[in-house]
A = this chain, B = another copy of it.
Amino acid sequence: MSRLIPGESFNLGVCYYPEQWPEDMWADDYKRMREMGFNVVRMGEFAWNFFEPEEGVYSFDLFDRAIDLASMQGLKVILGTPTATPPAWMTHRYPGILNISKDGVPYHHGNRRHYNYSSPVYHKYCAKITEAMARHYANHLGVIGWQIDNELNAEGGAFYAEADHAAFRIWLKEKYGSLYALNEAWGTIFWNQSYSEWEQVHLPLSSLNPHQGLDEKRFFSDNAISFVRIQVEILRKLAPKQWITTNGMFPHLNNHAMTDELLDFYSYDSYPNFTSLWNDGDREKPLMDRIYSNYLTITRSISPNFGIMEQQAGPGGWVNFKQSTPKPGQIRLWTYQSIAHGADMLLYFRWRTATFGTEIYWHGINDYHNRPNRRVAEVANVGRELKTIGQAIAGSRYVADVAILHDYDNEWDGELDVWLGPLTKESEYSWSKSLQFNHIPFNYLYIENKTSINELTCYKVLIYPHPAMMSEETAELLKQYVAGGGKLVFGARTGYKDKKGHCRMSPFPGPVAELCGITVEEFTVIADKAATPNIRWIDDGDACMQACLFNDILYPENDTTETLAVYEDDYYAGKAALTRNTYGRGEAYYYGAVFSHEVADALTRRLGLQPAAADWLELPLEVEIAVREKEGCQIVFLLNYSGKEVKARLLRDSVDMLEGERLAEGALNISPYGVKILLIE
């Protein structure tokens, strides 16, 4: 992240499409951007036809003028490679470039990513346009970095063109070496699926083979990364002084690997008002826009400091869906939500709402009419604030004592596997909600083969809700963590699959049975929600909570295993539902069900997890706390997600960074959708 725009502090900006507006508007647009405190502009990512209006003919006139004018206003440019939307002349001439649906329906021109990542022809054209742009802009001082393509896999990330099947076969050959090994890994003995020639192998079309389905997602991810690599290698060679990122985050893509291998840092597109389309509001205590802190937390697990390439700046929507308008204060709130979680650069989407096209309702800062409005005023206010505090924030790091463990293999396996996928989603939601409302900052940590023990030991507590698929290596790592004094929490269905997705022929939870000090005696799906059993806490007989969705019935195997809660109902009443095993200097918890918010709360207390700044700050439920640290200073973000003024309580004095004043002990009012940033030295 250190390479991100050297010399600047916090980078604020906006996405701009000069090609969509009369050229005589540009100067005024740039001038107002600068006045609003912006210093970066993204452009070019959907403009292939301008760069290559016909095959092999390259043209930079329009963007040269647009970039030069921006530079003159002191705005640095981030250039998107335009590969998300190939020109019509190309797909019409080379239809093999197009993606095909699982049902065999070809995609057509007029949308995004109607192409596939595998077509050699498309690879060639992407390489050529990237090379042409790189050669042209590598030494342009106004261009500071590149965004590869746009929102890779935002369209679902599934590809079934003929070129994809061919690429899948090559990928499989590299992975397995032989059809014998592939047949074994996919368990093709089942239902007589065995392959005797490579040409027989396809991405799953009619097949429900779960191992093939897992390799399908692994391939989709690797293939997307390979596609990105083509462009990155050209840019690294030709434009070594400019940084490279891309914006996410979307399915079937290992963003961690991609970022580690190819990017300078990762960027996220944050649209908290998508939650106005979801039914989270039907739950008790819904998180709504606050759930975006979760996505930002995942983003931080990829890049400790990251960019926001698109930050919601108005009502969102295509012609076929609609979000409500951010309320006064929410754009600013969400901006600081992104920053609190680790953003060091942030661009709003977009400068002015498009007057035509599918995103005619994806409203920018400016309305169609281009006159002052309250969103412009709100963003300008953020610009002023960041001018003051941006430098102090930039480069500081988010602080957390607890992490939720997650991994791509289980996520992808869980897409097809309903005995698994829904469990993880529910438990991660419950845990993040519980930690949020308890004011306990947390990280996500993605476990990979190369994860080191040091990445774990910086946390007091790790929660790994349902790692059904677990390698011996991961089990060893986790044992080492607990032995060294860590606390580790598992939920139902842990450890029963190996990395091929085959079930182990040993008692559950397989390689962590010893660590947890239990085996799973038997288990059941809870098919009828009304029949969900309760658990009873041994240390609090009155607490009665539901053991949701799935029940592992636990059998404590060791003296060191303590039963913390038992089932109250059905034929396994009295059997262990939650256990704690002392292992080395640490503790391993196993909960036989899916974590509800209530159970996560109860465990949070028993794990001894403390709210951030608990010794000097009392916070109401509505407020999120986040802490970024730099050079011994703590920057404490308080974010009020409610439409009411709320009261916090300070037990020591501090500095209000936004107001630039000292705060004494006592009540601290936070306005509706308001933000406080305290500096603790």
Q: What is A's interface to B at a CB cutoff of 8 Å? A: 17, 19-20, 46-49, 53-54, 82, 85-89, 92, 103-112, 114, 186-187, 189-197, 199-200, 202, 204-213, 276-277, 281, 315, 317-325, 327-328, 353-361, 368-371, 373-374, 416-419, 496, 500-508, 522-528, 570-571, 643
Contacts and interface: CB of A to CB of B under 8 A. Distances in A.
Contacts of A526: 324
Contacts of A368: 496, 503-506
A501 B356 contact: yes
A110 B570 contact: no
21 contacts: A49-B189, A86-B192, A92-B197, A92-B199, A104-B105, A108-B202, A108-B206, A110-B193, A111-B208, A112-B191, A189-B356, A189-B357, A190-B359, A208-B318, A319-B418, A320-B416, A324-B524, A324-B528, A325-B524, A356-B503, A571-B643
Contact of A357 (B47, B190, B359, B370): B190
A191 B85 contact: yes
Contacts of A323: 525, 527
Nearest to A194: B49
A524 B320 contact: no
A419 B361 contact: yes
A308 B374 CA distance: 55
Nearest to A210: B319
A200 B92 contact: yes
A103 to B, nearest CB: 5
A202 to B, nearest CB: 6
Contact of A527 (B211, B276, B527): B276
The 8 closest A-B pairs by CB, nearest first: A110-B207, A187-B356, A190-B357, A325-B524, A85-B192, A108-B205, A276-B527, A88-B200
Nearest to A373: B522
- Most B Cβ at <10 Å: residue of A53, A92, A370: A92
Contacts of A197: 88-89, 92
A87 B315 contact: no
Nearest to A361: B419
B88 A191 contact: no
Contacts of A210: 319, 356-358, 360
B92 A319 contact: no
Contacts of A192: 46-49, 82, 85-87
A211 B86 contact: no
Given A361-B419, A522-B373, A523-B325, A319 B196 contact: no
B524 A190 contact: no
Contacts of A196: 53-54, 87-89
Contacts of A187: 354-357
Given A196-B88, A419-B361, A206 B109 contact: yes
A378 to B, nearest CB: 12
A315 B525 contact: yes
A323 B523 CA distance: 11
Contact of A46 (B190, B357, B370, B373): B190
A187 B186 CA distance: 48
Given A92-B199, A104-B106, A108-B206, A355 B505 contact: yes
Contacts of A19: 189
B505 A319 contact: no
Contact of A206 (B54, B107, B522): B107
A82 B212 CA distance: 22
A110 B503 contact: no
- Most B Cβ at <10 Å: residue of A106, A192, A193, A500: A192
Nearest to A19: B189
A254 to B, nearest CB: 22
B327 A570 contact: yes
A154 to B, nearest CB: 12
- Most B Cβ at <10 Å: residue of A194, A328, A504: A194
Contacts of A87: 192, 194, 196
A191 B111 contact: yes
A525 B322 contact: yes
A23 to B, nearest CB: 13
